[in-house]
């Protein structure tokens, strides 16, 4: 098996398992919805089939019994309840572990504990002993028609032998005897209407036709195989039992839409007709085409009508097959618009686009330096094209955050049951998009925050009722775009954070002094300090004083910020601001004392002259009153301690920046304007450098540092002795 084929199997199995989990969680809300049942069945059925093709027998052995149980659920033999859903979720998790074993190339030496775990799950699911469903040695039975156990309606088999059948060595009775071994011949009729008079009778010719009523646990293809050597000398028609029609309808609904099949292929694939019956019907259709061509006609009887005329299939089955064919065609048309691309190749493309941006900036500088007027228009056109290429390349890596949000349905379900709580997860804004690399790295912080809301925040049902709240708690996940960033909100209607307990714990571990004055927001921020937890007893979810500080570090590593608001007995809101991408941004370049810096353009609100006579400026406390809005500011020359007597006292500009709900000003000497900025990491040596989040290469080859705006806003607030957000836009 090639590595590419194995990778495809793993990826598609993981997608199917995600769909299965979503369907199982939806079944808890609407257990009678057949679509969810079919989704779970299809996931197991498809994974089992693919695993069988690739020879992963240990996956087939586990998924087949699960598929069988789901078939019983769909037929009404087994009810859907919370216990069954919990077991099926375990089956999903175990199947994921088996698929991971394939991904890890461990299929030849499967972990015995993993095998034993699977046997235990199947024992609880099927009620059979582990020996009967051993993952390592289970033999998958041949699939039989599930409807046969309910109905003893008869198959009707018509055998019309040709006159040369006996001469060609066929014995009609031998076929009938062999058929009898597969089931019960309920009745048999011999038709003699072709029998000639005695004067022309030929003892070597066959004049008998048979009509057989047959009952047995077989499929149409099984019966067809009995007569496979007689098709050249016998016209054979196999009519299914009446109860079979509903089964064929069911099979049509379960058919995968991976390929657009012809009508005949669809009917053969579900055993509604045999291959020989299809070939005969196609032969009749070919004759019709020849006749129509000879007569100058343009219409030919469709295959479906021919099959109906020959009484080999019922009209409802043909109509349903045609609907399935049309649905498959529509799905194939939609899917043809998409291709699967390796993430590494996509990353390499974006890196090359970044280098193209830098090279284009270099060309622009050369044109300006040598005053090549004729080239200005061409360079401007290329610059626009590069910008479009950049935007489209970045869009290729943008994904909706809704898929990440949906994964928490399982977390909320399992944690709620473990804690004895009743919690509903509400998701909004799932269509908001951001870079795939950001989505991957934000998953762990979100998991911490969701688990904290479930454990710390939302109370037990009896506690909520005592407070006048509904017994069921609510956890909300929301996403929205704001000024070139994405905002993620995690909100619950639980007990909220107790600021008095937070303050007491902070004093106890030495984070704050007893006489230190903190605002409500500053007290809440203490929750992000290492080692601070107000949980009296640690659990497997939270309370050990780790997690929230890790959340903050991970989010800041993505050039984001996290804020928290809470009111006792009302709930808690955690707000995360993140950049949409970590690769290329629109920047605004400024200068201070000969050094150049880049500010993300999405964070720049305005630029004004730093005029103390026009704006009220407090040089001691570092704040400015700009049109009635009071905000802190930082002078970059002083902050970075750049000694430069040449620029001291020169004209200064105030760049007003905003991140989230806070605003601040950056005082600079020069404004260079907008530029496309390719973000380059600084490396481990500079990882603790304050106020800087990265660097970029200019067209001249020089390095410009990218300012960490959110960090600078916080430092400006501290230097000005004003609470963050004091400005009028807070």
- The answer to whether residue 543 scores a pLDDT higher than 50 is no
Question: Could you give the CA distance from residue 723 to residue 364 in angstroms, rounded to a whole number?
Answer: 44
What is the spatial distance between Cα 420 and Cα 473, in angstroms, rounded to a whole number? 12
How many angstroms separate the CA atoms of 45 and 66, rounded? 9
Q: How far is CA 102 from the centre of its chain?
A: 20
| Whether the predicted pLDDT of 255 surpasses 80 | no
Share above pLDDT 70 across residues of the chain, in percent, rounded to a whole number: 84
Helices and strands (DSSP H and E) totals, the chain: 23, 22
Q: 289: part of which helix (H) or strand (E)?
A: helix 275-295
Give the pLDDT mean for 14-18. Answer: 89
Q: Calculate the average pLDDT of the chain.
A: 80
pLDDT at 494: 93
Contact 490, 563 (CB under 8 A): no
The better pLDDT of the pair 128, 498 is held by 498
Residue 297: what pLDDT?
66
Pairing of strands 473-482, 584-592: unpaired
Do 667 and 679 contact (CB within 8 A), yes or no? Answer: no
Question: What pLDDT was estimated at residue 443?
Answer: 87
Picking from 682, 700, 486, the residue whose alpha carbon sits closest to that of residue 589 is 700
Q: Measure the CA–CA gap between 361 and 478, rounded to whole angstroms.
A: 39
Residue 137 has pLDDT above 80, yes or no: no
Q: Please give the Cα distance from 208 to 432 (Å, whole number).
A: 72
Domain spans in the chain, listed from the N-terminal domain onward: 3-141, 147-317, 343-397, 400-579, 584-720
Provide the CATH number for the domain formed by 3-141 in this structure: 1.20.120.160
pLDDT in tens, 488-509: 999 999 999 988 888 988 888 8
Tell me the mean pLDDT in the region 513-525: 87
Coil, strand, or helix at residue 209? strand
Q: Specify the pLDDT at position 626.
A: 87
d(CA 60, CA 47): 8
> Residue 283 in 3-state DSSP?
helix
pLDDT in tens, 671-705: 999 888 888 877 777 766 778 888 888 888 888 99
Q: How far apart are CA 513 and CA 309, in angstroms?
A: 93
Task: Provide mean pLDDT across the span 230-234.
Answer: 81
Buried b (16+ CB within 10 A) or exposed e, 315-347: eebbebbeebbeebeeeeeeeeeeeeeeeeeee
Average pLDDT for 136-153 = 38
Q: Could you tell me the two tokens for 717?
A: 């607030």
Estimate the share of the chain in helix, then strand, then coil, as percent rounded to the nearest 5: 45, 20, 35
Closest by Cα among 585, 550, 560 to 680: 585
Q: What is the DSSP letter of 145?
A: -
Contacts 24+ apart (CB under 8 A), 618-621: 618/720, 621/720, 621/721, 621/722
Q: Sign (positive/negative) of CA torsion 168, 169, 175, 181?
A: negative
pLDDT tens, 588-646? 999 998 889 999 888 899 999 888 777 888 887 888 888 888 888 998 988 888 876 56
User: Residue 413 and residue 475: Cα distance in Å, rounded?
Assistant: 12
Does residue 177 surpass a pLDDT of 50?
yes
Q: In the chain, what percentage of residues exceed pLDDT 90?
A: 16
Lowest mean pLDDT among 137-151, 452-466, 715-729: 137-151
Strand partners of residue 435: 398
**pLDDT of 441 strictly over 80:** yes
| DSSP single-letter state for residue 132 | G
So what's the pLDDT on residue 579?
85
pLDDT digit string, tens, across residues 51-87: 876 778 889 889 988 988 888 888 788 888 888 999 9
pLDDT level of residue 585 (50, 70, 90 thresholds)? confident
DSSP 485-546: EEEEEEEE-S----HHHHHHHHHHTTSS-TT----HHHHHHGGGSTT----SS--SSS-SS-
Confidence of residue 393 (pLDDT cuts 50, 70, 90): confident
Average confidence (pLDDT) over 269-279: 72
Does 102 score more than 60 pLDDT? yes
How many whole angstroms separate alpha carbon 234 and alpha carbon 52?
36
298-318 tens-digit pLDDT: 566 777 777 777 777 777 777
Dist. CA 278–CA 263, nearest whole Å: 10
pLDDT value for 332: 60
Residue 151 has pLDDT above 80, yes or no: no
User: Mind listing the pLDDT tens digit for each residue in 322-372?
Assistant: 777 777 667 666 655 667 777 788 888 888 888 888 888 889 889 888 888
Q: Once rounded to an integer, what is the mean pLDDT over residues 375-388? A: 88
Tens of pLDDT, residues 455-479:
889 999 999 999 999 999 999 999 9
Return the CATH number of 584-720, one of 2.40.50.180, 3.40.718.10, 3.30.1360.170, 3.40.50.2000. Answer: 2.40.50.180
Per the structure block, which two tokens stand in for 132? 């009967």
Instruction: Give me the pLDDT at residue 143, please.
Output: 38
Q: What does the pLDDT look like over 419-434, one tens digit per residue?
A: 899 999 999 999 988 8
What is the predicted pLDDT for the residue at 141?
39
CATH class belonging to 400-579:
alpha beta
Tell me the pLDDT band of 450, cut-offs 50, 70 and 90: very high
Comparing 15-19, 236-240, 368-372, 581-585, which segment has the lowest mean pLDDT? 236-240
419-444: b (≥16 Cβ within 10 Å) or e? eebebebebebeebbbbbbbbebbee
151-160, 169-178, 661-670: segment of lowest average pLDDT: 151-160
């Amino acid at each position: 098996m090639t590595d590419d084929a194995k990778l495809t199997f793993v990826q598609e199995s993981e997608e199917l398992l995600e769909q299965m989990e979503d369907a199982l969680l939806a079944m808890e809300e609407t257990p009678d919805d057949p679509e969810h049942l079919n989704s779970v069945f299809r996931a197991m059925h498809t994974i089992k089939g693919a695993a069988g093709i690739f020879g992963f027998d240990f996956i087939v052995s586990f998924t087949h019994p699960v598929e069988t149980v789901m078939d019983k659920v769909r037929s009404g033999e087994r009810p859907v309840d919370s216990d069954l859903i919990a077991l099926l979720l375990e089956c999903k998790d175990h199947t994921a572990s088996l698929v991971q074993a394939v991904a890890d190339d461990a299929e030849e030496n499967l972990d015995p504990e993993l095998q034993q775990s699977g046997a235990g799950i199947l024992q609880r699911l099927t009620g059979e002993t582990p020996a009967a469903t051993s993952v390592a040695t289970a033999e998958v039975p041949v699939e039989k028609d599930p409807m046969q156990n309910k109905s003893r309606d008869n198959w009707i088999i018509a055998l019309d032998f040709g006159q040369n059948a006996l001469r060609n060595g066929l014995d009609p009775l031998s076929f009938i005897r062999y058929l009898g071994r597969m089931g019960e011949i309920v009745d048999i009729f011999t038709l003699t209407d072709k029998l000639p008079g005695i004067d022309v009778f030929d003892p070597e010719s066959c004049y008998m036709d048979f009509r057989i009523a047959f009952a047995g646990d077989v499929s149409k293809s099984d019966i067809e195989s009995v007569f496979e050597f007689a098709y050249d000398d016998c016209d054979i028609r196999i009519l299914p039992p009446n109860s079979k029609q509903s089964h064929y309808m069911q099979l049509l609904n379960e058919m995968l839409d991976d390929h657009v099949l012809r009508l005949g292929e669809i009917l053969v694939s579900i055993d509604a007709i045999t291959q020989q019956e299809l070939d005969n019907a196609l032969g009749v259709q070919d004759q019709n085409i020849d006749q129509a061509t000879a007569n100058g006609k343009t219409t030919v009887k469709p295959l479906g009508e021919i099959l109906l005329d020959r009484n080999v299939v019922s009209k409802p089955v043909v109509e349903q097959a045609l609907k399935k064919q049309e649905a498959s065609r529509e799905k194939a048309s939609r899917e043809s618009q998409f291709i699967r691309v390796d993430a590494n190749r996509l990353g390499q493309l974006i890196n090359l686009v970044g280098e193209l941006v830098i090279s284009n900036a270099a060309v622009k500088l050369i044109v300006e330096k040598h005053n090549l007027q004729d080239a200005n228009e061409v360079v401007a056109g290329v610059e626009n094209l590069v910008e479009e290429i950049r935007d489209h390349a970045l869009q290729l890596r943008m994904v909706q955050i809704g898929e990440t949000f949906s994964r928490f349905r399982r977390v909320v379900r399992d944690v709620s049951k473990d804690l004895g709580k009743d919690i509903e997860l509400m998701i909004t804004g799932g269509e908001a998009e951001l870079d795939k690399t950001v989505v991957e790295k934000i998953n762990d912080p979100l998991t911490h925050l969701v688990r904290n809301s479930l454990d710390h925040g939302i109370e037990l049902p009896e506690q909520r009722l005592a407070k006048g709240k509904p017994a069921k708690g609510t956890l909300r996940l929301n996403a929205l775009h704001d000024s070139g960033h994405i905002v993620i909100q995690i909100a619950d209607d639980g007990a909220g954070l107790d600021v008095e307990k937070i303050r007491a714990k902070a004093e106890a571990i030495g984070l704050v002094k007893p006489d230190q004055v903190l605002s409500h927001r500053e007290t809440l921020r203490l929750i992000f300090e290492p080692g601070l937890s107000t949980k009296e007893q640690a659990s497997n979810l939270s309370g050990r004083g780790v997690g929230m500080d890790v959340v903050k570090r991970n989010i800041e590593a993505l050039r984001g910020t996290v804020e928290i608001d809470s009111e006792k007995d009302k709930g808690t809101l955690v707000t995360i601001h993140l950049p949409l991408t970590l690769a290329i941004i629109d920047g605004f370049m400024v200068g201070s004392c000969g050094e150049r810096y880049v500010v993300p353009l999405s964070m720049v609100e305005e630029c004004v002259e730093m005029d103390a006579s026009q704006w009220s400026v407090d040089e001691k406390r570092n704040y400015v009153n700009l049109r009635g809005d009071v905000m802190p500011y930082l002078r970059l020359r002083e902050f970075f301690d750049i000694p430069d007597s040449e620029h001291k006292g020169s004209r200064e500009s105030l760049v007003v920046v905003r991140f989230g709900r806070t605003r601040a000003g950056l005082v600079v000497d020069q404004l260079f304007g907008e530029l496309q900025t390719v973000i380059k990491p600084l490396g481990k040596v500079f990882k603790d450098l304050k106020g800087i989040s990265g660097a970029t290469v200019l067209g001249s080859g020089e390095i410009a540092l990218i300012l960490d705006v959110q960090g600078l806003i916080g430092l400006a607030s501290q230097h000005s002795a004003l609470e963050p957000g004091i400005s009028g836009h807070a």
